[in-house]
Amino acid sequence: MTSIWSFLLQTLTVSLVALLLLVLKAIFRDKLSPRWQYGVWVLLAARCLLPAGLAGQGLLPLNGWVEMAKTWAESGLSSAYSGPWTAVTVTSPLPWVVSAPWSVTDWLFVVYCGGILFWLVWFLAGYLRLRRSLTVLPEGDEQVARVARRYGLPLPRVARAPVASAFVCGPLRPVLVLPEGREVDDKVILHELIHLKYGDLWLNLLCCLLRCLHWCNPFLWWVFHRVGNDAEALCDQRVLERLEGEERRDYGRILLSMADDRYARQPGTTSMANGGRNIKSRIQSIARFKRYPRGMALVSLCIVAILAPACLAGSAQASALPAVSDHEARGQLTEDELRTALLRGFAAARSARPSTPAGALDCYAKAVVNNNGYFLAAVSDTGTQRELYETLLERNDDTWEWGNFYLDLGLFPADDPDLTWEERRWSADNLPPYLVMNLTETEEGYSALVVFFYMRVDAESHPHDCYLIHEVALTHDEGGWLVEKMGEREPSLTSALRLLRTVDEYGYLPGLDLAVIPFASQGQFSSSLHIQRQDQFSDETLFLQPSDHSFMICGFGNNLTVSPDLDARFDTTWFNSCLEVRYEGGSLPDEAESFPTGAVALYIGDSCIRSWDSDPFLPAPAEPGETVCLHALGPLRWGGELVDRIQFSCNLYTVGEDGRVALTRLPTQTESLDLTEVIP
């Protein structure tokens, strides 16, 4: 922890787990054994020792709340330990001061660190004072030895002191301290020896250290006190299990007599007396004493197993990023309202960073598609966030039209001067909202192309399919993946171009930049099949599909969810290959049907896993000697295995003298593709 905000997040997270455990302990107070009641605190101890937000958010969106408070508080300060736009992260449960303090919040953190040292020294001094006041009996105590022998318990050193009740202290070299000048019942000694046997002194020491770490959290101090009481209650249970009949009643009477006794509260000590109210509760438990059947251990473990992930790792799902309200989008909020909304939204964005490159791309794309500045903030660095925040604040007026924000930030293409901006709609029904193409690993992370499909309607209400292609760079920082727009590609809109259409997977994607060379054929064909990889936008052309299950990439229908899938993974990678077919011969008669068509088959080993026919490219015949390119889009993986071979075959329709069209299959040619996987 390096700032007051990281401490705040850590202590709130621990407090929340403590609250949950207290609720459950109250529900199962008279149902689960004292062993479970005490043992379940191990989750709290583990939570204290693990950094907050280790594996996602906790049971509550504490990250977002702390972020919001930090941004609001630090906006006017120049903190050396944190900034308004940097995410709060907890990398260690222990604090350290990284540099000299500057702002008020920095000094608060220094005071907190000083407080830890103070309490450590305080407790240590108290313990040393206690130990110095004890005089160990060199010959031991015969009564203690007898009790230890009888019940098979460890025998500590013994001391006598002017104390009200017996206690043990010293985890390393334990000492049983008995009251001076008073008889001590065997059961009291038994109680203390059981503490010793089960290592309660070490647990007490741990509680003391955790108290120091969270010294300014009074709720946790009370919780640690409860932990001590549960330790005593468990010790009572263990004592009662060793006693019979009337001895148990005697034990209760002894406990009752200690109700007014003072007790040692130093670290590394335990005492049978722990206050009148606690003793009353313990006596009630004694009255309810029963031996829990052995099978109960199973359900106790099951409950702890269910609680452990939630308490220690939190929810695996990142917090949802907020949508932009209509009022906000239309500039209808007051400045204060907008400032609050933006702070809340940006705080949520910082605490919900995409954890995967696919998630980052999904977040970026949906920011553009949904005009959501918070989504954009989630994948932006601190500098960009500040600019975004200030831009959105400035835009809060009646003249701000929906979508202008993105025009100004260059995320949306400027209007074509020949088209009047009437309506802008993302994608036609049979096209996906966006594709990720050409994902390539770089030194800093990845680069990719994000292709958006949208429609423009001109003044005559004619729709035009359009593309928006963003070149983006992905980098990773501590909080997650960031996306930065590097530039744009101009799409070339050629209406005659088509990609291959697979049988049941794709609609066609019109207008992408592909070279198509008309072909010619006549009569009998001799052909050479020349297969080459057709590069579309760069050397490697990959279509990558996020695994958002409601997102149908290139599918029919548009089931895109509004919220980004911040943990999305690429699970389908497609290649695009081109088959060039050259034909000799003359031109085709006018009545000839379209040809050639191609068939593509994918192989893993000798198994054909998939095959499909392509659409013809151009219905009209062309000049002899020219070639046609048939493009194949196919998955790189099939059932988890990598496709290692692609085989093309070409179907030619020949036109006989009688005008009948016959189908001829040309010899197939196979190509083993070097399918370099780039799936982060």
The first and second tokens of residue 555, run together, are 């599918």
CB nearer to another protein: give 61 or 174: 61
Residue 299: which H helix or E strand, with range?
A: helix 296-308
Q: How far is the CB of 549 from another protein (least distance, A)?
A: 6
Smallest separation (angstroms) from another protein to the CB of 27: 7
> Who's near 103: CB < 8 A, 6+ residues apart?
74, 77, 78, 79, 80
**Beta carbon nearer to another protein, 61 or 634:** 61
Report the C-alpha gap between 1 and 49 in whole angstroms: 12
3-state secondary structure string, 474-538?
A: EEECCCCEEEEEEEEECCCCCCCCCCCCCCCCCCCCCCCCCCCCCCCCCCCCCEEEEEECCCCCC
CB of 484 to another protein, least distance (A): 28
Contacts of 340 (CB under 8 A, 6+ apart): none
DSSP 8-state class, residue 64: H
Q: Which is nearer to another protein, 593 or 641 (CB)?
A: 641
Strand pairing of 175-179 and 157-161?
parallel
Alpha helices (runs of H) in 175-270, residue ranges in sequence order: 186-197, 200-213, 218-242, 246-257
Instruction: Pick between residue 39 and residue 83 the one whose CB is nearest to another protein.
Output: 39
- What is the rounded distance in angstroms from the CA atom of residue 419 to the CA atom of residue 440? 35
Beta bridge partners of 452: 434, 468
The nearer residue to another protein, 60 or 73, going by C-beta atoms, is 60
Tokens for 42? 């191990």
Q: What is the largest CA-CA distance in the chain?
A: 128
617 vs 629: CA distance, rounded Å:
8
Report the residue number, 182 or 549, with the smaller CB distance to another protein.
549
Specify the residue, 553 or 646, whose C-beta has the smaller distance to another protein: 553
CB nearer another protein, residue 280 or residue 549: 549
Would you put residue 152 in left (φ > 0), alpha (ψ -120 to 50) or beta? left
Minimum CB distance to another protein smaller for 27 or for 98: 27
- We find the least distance from the C-beta atom of residue 310 to another protein, in angstroms, to be 5
Q: Which is nearer to another protein, 27 or 661 (CB)?
A: 27
CB of 337 to another protein, least distance (A): 21
CB of 209 to another protein, least distance (A): 28
Q: How far is CA 451 from the centre of its chain?
A: 26
Give the integer Cα–Cα distance in Å for 175 and 160: 10
Helix (H) or strand (E) holding 464: strand 463-476
What single DSSP character describes residue 90? -
- Residue 471: both structure tokens together: 């070149």
- Taken as a whole, the chain contains a residue count of 680
Question: Between residues 32 and 451, which has the closer beta carbon with respect to another protein?
Answer: 32
As measured in angstroms, the least distance from the Cβ of 427 to another protein is 25
Peptide bond between residue 156 and the one before it cis (omega within 30 degrees of 0): no
CB of 320 to another protein, least distance (A): 7
- The residue ranges that bind another protein (CB under 8 A) are 20, 23-24, 27-28, 30-32, 59-61, 293, 295-296, 298-299, 302-303, 305-307, 309-310, 315-317, 320, 549, 567
Distance CA 539, CA 542 (A): 10
- Beta-sheet pairing, 627-635 with 645-655: unpaired
**In angstroms, what is the minimal distance from the CB of 317 to another protein?**
7
What is the smallest separation between the CB atom of 446 and another protein, expressed in angstroms?
Answer: 22
Identity of the residue, 100 or 298, whose beta carbon is nearer to another protein in the bound complex? 298
Give the up-direction half-sphere exposure of residue 636: CA atoms within 13 A in the CB hemisphere. Answer: 20
313 or 609: CB nearest another protein:
313
According to DSSP, the residues that pair with 599 across neighbouring strands are 613, 649
Q: Quick one: 37 or 385, whose CB is closer to another protein?
A: 37
SS (H, E, C) 138-161: CCCCHHHHHHHHHHCCCCCEEEEE
Cα dihedral across residues 561, 562, 563, 566: positive or negative: positive
Q: What is the nearest approach in angstroms of another protein to the Cβ of residue 430?
A: 23
Smallest distance, another protein to C-beta of residue 433, A:
21
Contact 588, 567 (CB under 8 A): no
- Is 394 or 641 the residue whose CB approaches another protein more closely? 641
Helix (H) or strand (E) holding 608, with range, is: strand 607-613
Tell me the closest approach of the beta carbon of residue 309 to another protein, in angstroms. Answer: 7
The distance from CA 631 to its chain's CA centroid, rounded to whole angstroms, is 39
Let me know: does 582 contact 591? Beta carbons within 8 Å. Answer: no
Contact 410, 468 (CB under 8 A): no
* Minimum distance from residue 7 beta carbon to another protein (Å): 21
Q: How far is the CB of 61 from another protein (least distance, A)?
A: 6
Q: How far is the CB of 88 from another protein (least distance, A)?
A: 18
Q: Give the integer Cα–Cα distance in Å for 88 and 95.
A: 14
Report the residue number, 61 or 170, with the smaller CB distance to another protein: 61
